[in-house]
């Protein structure tokens, strides 16, 4: 074999950017901590700082970029434009795709009803926050502009109140924050999931937040609960007030508020109308949960429930059965469904680029400090502008006091570019002032104009003095911010949507009582899968049991109406139900067809039915390949309302029998080649998994299979010692005529 030619060293070496020499194609070891620091940490910090966590102005970057784009498009005072146009323009600042931008707009829109004070005045279908399935229309169909409250977001943005930074390709500027004149961070609900942390801020009433901010500025020891009783949500509903919980959230920024739907009873029609639901759920989730409870038999008072939401707003209607107490039913629904839900708070806000979980008081304190800085920058900007104007007027004042001299200088100057220098020399003014004077129109050289300009100098000097006085006085700065907060509160404040309910106003929750009637019944199951539940009285009066043509009785059992049943199928699944969910029948009826009643998959058939009782025993599964698995019944006792368990038993071999036992006993195994064996179930160890393959109990010959399994008492075997075995697996013994089964009418014990 030819040897590989050795490559020259200079072709194998490579110098990296750090000047370290390495081999091309070679790998170097790197500590996992170093890999995380170099590769993962920048991504994590980008998600935290630039995407998911809101800043002190109450916005994430995606919100801010969208609103600023709409502001620059003139949509604050102008008419609406197509949403697609806004989305396209926003991509100059936010290059993450049109779908993400439009979804952001939908959340901010009035039509979606996510926010107490929407920032986008929308037209068209923007979906609803209280509906999971109501999709919003495409951006080419809807229109939008900025809502009037956005004037408070951009009130001072052109007065150098916030830093302007480059966009992603450095072709234009955008604000790092929006100079909101009210604490929007607590007025607009905000949710975000970052890497390793999240943020979930509930919305508060604008007027209450402004009053609280003012009170804290006047008195840092102010009790926030006096002016801010709780959050206010756009979907309304009721807030169940708990003082201790509320104070904890206001202090730590973490906790949860309990919300409850609003409803009314309509006597005409005997129905309940639910017209406001908790902010944290949707109408579809509520409908699905109620449907599940009805199927599980936990709610029997409802005839029908439907969604009648229209342009008038949300409405879920419940038709009641005759004689049902609406108040008691609603208390039950509050306990079992999301009609009463909780909103988990996590007030995680970026402060100077660092995520911090703050209480309400701390957030308002941070906002006040930030707003004070914004107002200071605005005042300084205004002073600079007025001083620039004053500087020009001071130069003009010198000229206007001796206008003839100025005209003479201009007239006697031969070159145009020498006019400004000659004016500077003649009046002792600087270049900026001289340029301004040189541009004055001839018509303005009159007494009236001169007097106006001289008066403007005095006015500007007074204004600058007042601005400087305000800028240098913390008290005046505070009063200015308070005055602006009051203006916002009066102009945009609105009544609470979420009503506060105190504990004393709540109906006492009743203990959940299982009112299912219990009485003796007998269960009959046919081989085709038809189940009949017949009361003792009906059974005494009935005649012969009726079955479908070709069908026969599989087994019958005496039990009670409240008993549960486990139905095992040929698809290795188990269906759980209560006998109380089946109507009482008669011997002359066929009964309920289990595959249809339990909602089985197409082609799925019943194999065995077990009555588990109190789930204290175990089930022994016997398979055609001669194996058996012993599984505790508790493995099928679900704590939730699940009605179907997949992987209920092993799928490695077809199931021959399943026997429920409360203690170990002796069973008889029958094979298709006329052999039998008596085995004690005590030889089988319980398995923790339902779908275990089990262990060999009977050695099955080729082309044979384990056919049936019965308890020793039911088998009728005479020669017990002939078939009894002390260990497993066993081959069994050939059946004698006196021990053979003449017929078999049961496949489950």
CATH of the domain at 527: 2.120.10.90
Asked whether residue 747 carries a pLDDT value surpassing 80, the answer given is: no
pLDDT at 25: 54
Looking at residues 543-565, what average pLDDT do you find? 85
What is the tens place of the pLDDT at every residue in 596-621? 888 888 888 888 888 888 888 889 99
Q: What is the pLDDT of residues 213-267, one digit of tens each?
A: 999 999 999 999 999 999 999 999 999 999 999 999 999 999 999 999 999 999 9
> Does 524 lie in the same domain as 481?
no
Tokens of 479: 């009063």
Residue 592 has pLDDT above 70, yes or no: yes
Residue, of 688 and 693, whose pLDDT is higher: 693
Residues 578, 629 within the same domain: yes
502 is catalytic: no
Burial string for 618-648 (b: 16+ CB within 10 Å, else e) reads bbbbbbbbbbbbbbbbebbeeeeeebbbeeb
Within a domain: 299: yes
Residue 504 structure tokens: 């004393």
Note whether 372 and 459 are same-domain residues: yes
User: Helix, strand or coil for residue 185?
Assistant: helix
244 occurs within a structural domain: no
Tell me the pLDDT band of 149, cut-offs 50, 70 and 90: very high
Q: State yes or no: pLDDT of 373 exceeds 70.
A: yes
In this prediction, residue 472 has a pLDDT band, given cuts at 50, 70 and 90, of very high
In the block, tokens 């013994």 appear at 733
The separation between CA 137 and the C-alpha centre of its own chain, rounded to angstroms, equals 21
Compute the average pLDDT of residues 495-500.
94
Are 306 and 384 contained in the same domain? Answer: no
| 295 has a pLDDT exceeding 90 | no
361-370, 374-383, 412-421, 641-650: least confidently modelled range? 641-650
pLDDT band at 27 (very low <50, low <70, confident <90, very high): low
Alpha-carbon distance of 403 to 391, in angstroms, equals 18
Q: Rounded to 5, what percent of the chain is helix, strand, coil? A: 35, 25, 40
207 vs 613, residue with greater confidence: 207
User: Residue 626 domain-assigned?
Assistant: yes
Average pLDDT over the chain reads 87
Average pLDDT over residues 538-552: 82
Return all residues near 476 (Cβ < 8 A) that are at least 6 apart. 469, 470
Residue 469, class by beta-carbon neighbours within 10 Å (0-12 exposed, 13-18 middle, 19+ buried)?
exposed
Q: Are residues 298 and 420 in the same domain?
A: no
Q: Are residues 670 and 550 in the same domain?
A: yes
| pLDDT attached to residue 505 | 53
What CATH code is carried by the domain that includes residue 165? 3.90.199.10
Domain that holds residue 467: 364-492
Interior CA angle at 153 toward 147 and 156, to 5°? 130
CATH number at residue 298: 3.30.1360.40
Beta bridge partners of 164: 175
Residue of 40, 43, 141, 502 marked catalytic: 141
Q: Quick: pLDDT tens for 34-80.
A: 887 788 778 787 777 778 899 999 999 999 999 999 999 999 998 99
Band (7; pLDDT cuts 50, 70, 90): very low
Structural domain ending residue among the three candidates 147, 179, 211: 179
Q: In angstroms, rounded to a whole number, what is the distance separating the alpha carbons of residues 52 and 68?
A: 18
How many domains in the chain?
A: 4
| Any domain includes 10 | no
Residue 349 has pLDDT above 90, yes or no: yes
pLDDT of 511 strictly over 70 = no
pLDDT at 73: 95
Which stretch of 120-124, 298-302, 737-741 has the lowest confidence by average pLDDT? 737-741
Most distant CA pair in the chain, distance: 147
Q: Is residue 446 part of a domain?
A: yes
Whether 161 maps to a domain, the answer reads: yes
Q: At what angle do helices 83-90 and 61-72 cross, to 10 degrees?
A: 110
Cβ atoms of 659 and 709 within 8 Å: the answer is yes
Q: Among 126, 160, 179, give the residue marking a domain's end.
A: 179
Residues 552 and 696 in one domain: yes
Structure confidence at residue 55 (pLDDT): 94
Q: Is the pLDDT of residue 1 over 60?
A: no
Show Cβ contacts of residue 697 under 8 Å, excluding neighbours closer than 6 positions.
622, 626, 627, 628, 669, 677, 679, 683, 684, 728, 729, 730
Whether residue 508 lies inside any domain: the answer is no
Write out the H or E segment, with its range, that includes residue 564.
strand 564-569
Which residue has better confidence, 298 or 381? 381
Q: Which of 126, 158, 179 is the last residue of a domain?
A: 179
Same domain for 578 and 683? yes
Q: Give per-residue pLDDT as tens, 423-464.
A: 888 888 888 988 888 887 777 777 777 778 778 888 899 999
What is the pLDDT, as a whole number, of residue 285? 94
Q: Does one domain contain both 316 and 390?
A: no
Report how far residue 79's alpha carbon sits from residue 123's, in angstroms, rounded to the nearest whole number: 11
User: Is the whole model's pTM more than 0.85, yes or no?
Assistant: no
Handedness of CA 650, 655, 656, 658 (dihedral sign): positive
Q: Quick one: average pLDDT of 472-477?
A: 94
Q: Is residue 530 part of a domain?
A: yes
Residues 78 and 139 in one domain: yes
Q: Of the ranges 200-214, 299-313, 716-730, which one carries the lowest mean pLDDT score?
A: 716-730
pLDDT score recorded for residue 411:
86
Sign of CA dihedral 422, 426, 429, 435: negative
Residue 554 shares a structural domain with residue 695: yes
Mean pLDDT within 729-737: 85
Mean pLDDT, rounded, for 460-475: 93
Query: Would you place residue 370 in the very low, low, confident or very high pLDDT band (cuts 50, 70, 90)?
Result: very high
Task: Identify whether residues 472 and 334 lie together within a single domain.
Answer: no
| pLDDT recorded at residue 14 | 45
């Amino acid at each position: 074999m030819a040897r590989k030619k050795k490559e020259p060293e200079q072709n194998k070496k490579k110098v990296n950017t750090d000047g370290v020499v390495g081999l091309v194609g070679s790998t170097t070891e790197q500590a996992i901590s170093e890999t995380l620091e170099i590769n993962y940490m920048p991504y994590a910090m980008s998600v935290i700082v630039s995407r998911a966590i809101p800043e002190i102005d109450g916005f994430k970057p995606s919100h801010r970029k969208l609103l600023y784009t709409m502001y620059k498009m003139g949509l604050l005072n102008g008419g609406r434009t197509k949403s697609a146009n806004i989305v396209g323009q926003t991509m100059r600042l936010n290059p993450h795709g049109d779908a993400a931008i439009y979804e952001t707009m939908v959340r901010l829109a009035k039509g979606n009803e996510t926010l107490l004070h929407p920032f986008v005045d929308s037209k068209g279908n923007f979906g609803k926050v209280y509906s999971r399935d109501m999709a919003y229309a495409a951006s080419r169909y809807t229109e939008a502009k900025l809502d009037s409250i956005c004037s408070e977001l951009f009130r001072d943005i052109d007065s150098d109140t916030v830093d302007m930074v480059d966009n992603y390709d450095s072709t234009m500027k955008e604000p790092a924050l929006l100079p909101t004149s009210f604490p929007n961070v607590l007025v607009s609900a905000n949710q975000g999931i970052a890497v390793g942390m999240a943020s979930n801020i509930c919305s508060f009433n604008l007027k209450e937040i402004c009053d609280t901010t003012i009170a804290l500025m006047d008195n840092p020891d102010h009790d926030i609960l006096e002016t801010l009783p709780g959050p206010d949500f756009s979907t309304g509903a009721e807030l169940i007030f708990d003082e201790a919980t509320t104070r904890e959230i206001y202090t730590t920024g973490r906790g949860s508020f309990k919300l409850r739907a609003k409803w009314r009873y309509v006597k005409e029609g005997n129905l309940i109308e639910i017209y406001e639901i908790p902010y944290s759920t949707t109408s579809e989730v509520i409908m699905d949960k109620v449907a599940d409870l009805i199927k599980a038999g936990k709610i029997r008072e409802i005839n029908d429930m439907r969604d009648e939401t229209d342009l008038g707003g949300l409405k879920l209607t419940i038709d009641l059965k005759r004689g049902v107490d609406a108040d008691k039913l609603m208390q039950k629904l509050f306990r079992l469904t999301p009609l009463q839900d909780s909103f988990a708070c996590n007030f995680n806000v970026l402060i100077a680029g660092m995520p911090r979980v703050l209480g309400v008081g701390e957030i308002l304190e941070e906002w006040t400090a930030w707003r004070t800085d914004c107002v200071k920058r605005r005042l300084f900007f205004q002073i600079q502008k007025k001083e620039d104007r004053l500087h020009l007027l001071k130069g003009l004042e010198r000229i206007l006091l001796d206008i003839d001299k100025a005209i003479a200088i201009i007239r006697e100057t031969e070159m145009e570019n020498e006019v400004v220098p000659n004016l500077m020399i003649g009046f002792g003014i600087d270049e900026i002032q001289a340029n301004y004077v040189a541009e004055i129109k001839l018509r303005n050289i009159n007494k009236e104009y001169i007097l106006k300009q001289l008066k403007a100098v005095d006015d500007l000097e007074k204004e600058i003095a007042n601005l400087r006085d305000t800028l240098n006085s913390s008290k005046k700065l505070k009063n200015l911010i308070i005055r602006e907060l009051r203006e916002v509160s009066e102009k945009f404040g609105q009544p609470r949507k979420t009503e506060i309910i105190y504990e004393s106003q709540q109906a006492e929750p009743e203990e959940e009582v299982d009112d299912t009637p219990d009485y003796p019944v007998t269960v009959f199951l046919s081989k085709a899968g038809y189940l009949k539940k017949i009361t003792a009285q009906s059974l005494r009066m009935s005649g012969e049991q009726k079955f479908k043509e070709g069908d026969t009785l599989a087994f019958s059992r005496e039990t009670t109406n409240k008993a549960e049943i486990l139905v095992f199928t040929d698809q290795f699944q188990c269906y759980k139900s209560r006998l109380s969910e089946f109507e009482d029948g008669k011997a002359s009826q066929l009964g309920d067809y289990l595959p249809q009643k339990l909602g089985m998959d197409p082609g799925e058939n019943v194999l065995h039915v077990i009555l588990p009782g109190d789930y204290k025993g175990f089930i022994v599964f016997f398979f055609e390949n001669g194996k058996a698995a012993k599984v505790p019944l508790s493995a099928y006792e679900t704590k939730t309302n699940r009605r179907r368990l997949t992987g209920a038993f092993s799928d490695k071999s077809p199931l021959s029998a399943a026997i429920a036992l409360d203690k170990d006993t002796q069973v008889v195994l029958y094979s298709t080649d006329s052999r039998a064996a008596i085995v004690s179930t005590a030889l089988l160890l319980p398995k923790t998994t339902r779908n275990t393959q089990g262990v060999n109990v009977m050695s099955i010959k080729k082309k044979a299979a384990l056919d049936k399994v019965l308890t020793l008492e039911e088998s009728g075997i005479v020669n017990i010692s002939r078939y009894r075995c002390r260990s497993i697996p066993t081959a069994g013994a050939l059946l004698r005529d006196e021990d053979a089964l003449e017929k078999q009418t049961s496949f489950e014990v």
